[in-house]
Each structure stands twice: as C-alpha cells, then as structure tokens.
Amino acid sequence: MRAATWTGVNEVSVETVPDPQILNDHDVILRVRRTTTCGSDLHLLGGYIPFMRAGDVLGHEFMGEVVEVGRGVRERKVGDRVVVNSFIACGHCWYCRQELYSLCDNGNPNPGITEALWGQSPGGCFGYSHAMGGWAGSHAEYIRVPYADVGAFVVPEGVSDERALFASDAVSTGWMGADLAGTKPGDVVAVWGAGGVGQMAARAAMLLGAERVYVIDRLPERLAQVREHVGAEVVDYSSTDVLAELREVTGGRGPDVCIEAVGMEAHSSGIQGAYDQVKQQLRLQTDRPSAVREAILACRKGGSVFVLGVFALMVDKFPLGAMMNKGLTVRGAQVHGQRYMPRILDHMARGELTTEHLATHVMPLEDAARGYQLFKDKADGCVRSVFVP
C-alpha cells in the first residue's frame, strides 16, 4: 500500500509499504477514507520528539471503512463507516473504566521509554513515535486498529466524512479540555490557539454553556474562522496586549477557564519569544511554554487552566507562584476521546458541531509532503491538510 512516512527532520515521503495485518483478536483493518495533519505532528516532523525512525508512517486523526475484523471483535463489522480515536485504549483496565482512556495501562507496548521520561506510561497513539508505542499511522491506504470495539465509532448517516474525521482528535481533544476544566453555564472561557483543537475547545465551551468565549491567535484567517464558524470572540495577540484585554472584558476578574491549545512550539512575541527559542535550540529546555504561562497569569483567582497542547519534557520560567497563590486548578491530558465521541457524533448529526471548514486543503495522499509543508508554514491559509488515500 502507499503511505506517508517521516524520513528525517522536516522530511515526508510517500512510499510503498507492507499492508497491515490482524495481529490481535480485537483488531480491525480499516480502509482509510480521510486522514488529517494535526499540530502535534509538527513536533514529530521537526525532531522535537526524538523517538521517530525513518520510515515510520505518520498520522493519528482519521476515519474509514472496516474491511477485516479479528475474531474477538463484537461491535464492529466489515463495511462499517467509522471514526477512530487517536489514542489506543483497552477498555478494561482501571483507567479505561474511569473513562481516562489516554492513560490506558495496556495500549503502549513500549512502556520503558515513557516511564523513563515521565515516571508512568500513558496509552499508545497511532503514528506518534516509538515512545507512544510505535504504532503505524493513518496516512496510508489501510491501518490496523487495535481494541476496535473500544476506539472505533460508527459514523451516523448524514454526517459527512469531512465532518466525522475531526471527531477522531480535534473535537474530542477540545471537548475534553472544556469539560475537564469544569466549564459551566455563565463562565467566561479563553482559549489560546485557533487551530483545529483550539476552535473545537471554544465550540465545546459554548455548547457546555459558557456565556462568553475568547480565542487568542495571530493568524487572520484562523481568527476569521473562529468568528464565522465557531461564533466566539477573538483576540489578536500580535496587535493586542492579551492580559490587559482579558482583564478589561471580564470586569477585572480574568477568565474562569483558560484552555491552552498550542503546545511545545508556542510562538510568542517580544523578549519572551526570543528567550524561549534560544533556550530550546540550546537544549536548555525541551518545550516553549509561553501560552501556558500567559494562561496561568490571565486566569481569575480560583479558576481553572487546562493544558491541551502536547509537551514533551521540561519547561523554564513556569509561574508556579501565580498558580499557587491564585489557587488555580491546573490540569492536562492527552485525549480521552472514547469518553466523548458518541456525544460529539450526536452533535455533528444535529448540525451543532461543524468542522468542514477546518479542512482548508484536501488532496490525494500522494501529495502529503506538500500538504505538510503548507500546514507547517501556515501558507495559503492552511488550517488543516486532509489526505484522501
């Protein structure tokens, strides 16, 4: 089959690779119909997560059609049109039973690496390095899906492939951030980052009852999408003092909930941006946390900060004093998508959650290298490149 692979830092190729096969009873094989780039792929692409081998198949956000099922699969059958969560979870361990699916004890066959990094191992993730299990990704004609009864959800009739695709990760991640941050009716919510995840976090906050939602970014086309398709208000940090603006629009309190949807390659202006870039390039810190810092400083006393962006290891100048003295709740997670996907697909079917606008560049899988270049450079208004194998 054909697949898009990581072949080195900032290099993507489309190659012929072996077809996947059923290896466990709970597997299905999917013919991929749509698969998309995600901002967190850029950390892999740029070599910031040094656990990729040349030839690894990229991609973790996808949907498709079941073409083969393992003998232990009960809920899925050949011909089902499904969307699959990006994290691989068994559904049987204590964490899965608590609906903390990305923390699954059994989804990562390489726990020694992540335990060495973080002290414990989370679950596995498709196409996201050997630290997260070495699972082949979705930018391919076919993909093997372990624990398919737990992670693959049938797409309701009437929901398009383009809409369902983003339930796999962008919407479920955004929804989780808004939910686990404790968003409730009447809240003011601020979201850092107007990419796919940030937009969907903002939309989820609105559906959960937030009275006002602000999304912070610098890219005009993304801010325009927020206004038009999400219905939230925007703050352009390239021309506005974010902390002053958020204080002003919240009566001096600050947002009740602050959601960071940027990650370890955060862009920021001024001396802070230069400082983080230099330290990261000198390997004196692994991650650039400017959006997390700002979220903590912006949040109202006693409020809640949720870190959705992917971070690898260590950061510098973390405002621990502000977090402690303001009595904040700070939380983060990879996506517990299985918990939210049924509800998300219902909202999609009712037209309350639309995602088609995120797919600004749809192209054949053979054009994956071009798609990643557009996405990385944010060129031509690219929000997401979507590949059709």
Partner 1 sequence: MAVPRFLDSLRGAATEAGGALLGRLQHVRLPGVGQSSAADDPETAARRWRAVTVLCSPEQVGAGADLPAPLAALGDRLDLRITPAPGDRGTELAARYRDRASDDDLRALRSALRAAKQLIEVGEVLRVDPAPHGVRKPTPQGAALEGATARAGGEGVL
* Residue ranges that bind partner 1, judged by CB under 8 A: 1, 3, 5, 7-8, 13, 15-21, 23-26, 50-57, 72, 90, 92-94, 97, 105-107, 109-121, 124, 130, 133-136, 140, 144, 146-147
Contact indicator for 53, 127 with CB cutoff of 8 Å: no
With respect to partner 1, which residue has the nearer C-beta, 7 or 250?
7
Q: Which two structure tokens, joined as six digits, stand for 89?
A: 């979870």
Q: What are phi and psi of 304, to 5 degrees?
A: -130, 135
For residues 49 and 348, which CB has a smaller minimum distance to partner 1 in the complex? 49
CB neighbour list of residue 225: distance below 8 Å, 6 or more residues apart: 194, 199, 357, 358, 383
Minimum distance of partner 1 from residue 57's CB (angstroms): 6
- Minimum Å gap between C-beta 145 and partner 1 is 12
CB of 247 to partner 1, least distance (A): 37
Considering the complex, what minimum distance in angstroms separates the CB of residue 191 from partner 1?
A: 31
CA–CA separation, 217 and 350 (whole Å): 29
Tell me the angle at which helices 170-180 and 196-207 cross, rounded to the nearest 10 degrees.
Answer: 50
Cβ-based nearer residue to partner 1, 8 or 327 = 8
Q: Which residues, other chains included, contact 283 with Cβ-Cβ below 8 Å and sequence gap of 6+?
A: none
Q: Find the shortest distance in angstroms from Cβ 341 to partner 1.
A: 20
For residue 385, give the nearest of 42, 53, 94, 148 by alpha carbon: 42
Closer residue to partner 1 in complex, CB, 95/375: 95
Give me the least distance between CB of 370 and partner 1, in Å please: 18
Rounded to 10 degrees, the C-alpha dihedral 373/374/376/379 comes to: 140
Q: Which is nearer to partner 1, 51 or 318 (CB)?
A: 51
| Residue (52 or 197) nearer to partner 1, CB | 52
Cα distances (Å, whole numbers) of residue 277 to 23, 148, 284 = 43, 41, 10
DSSP 287: -
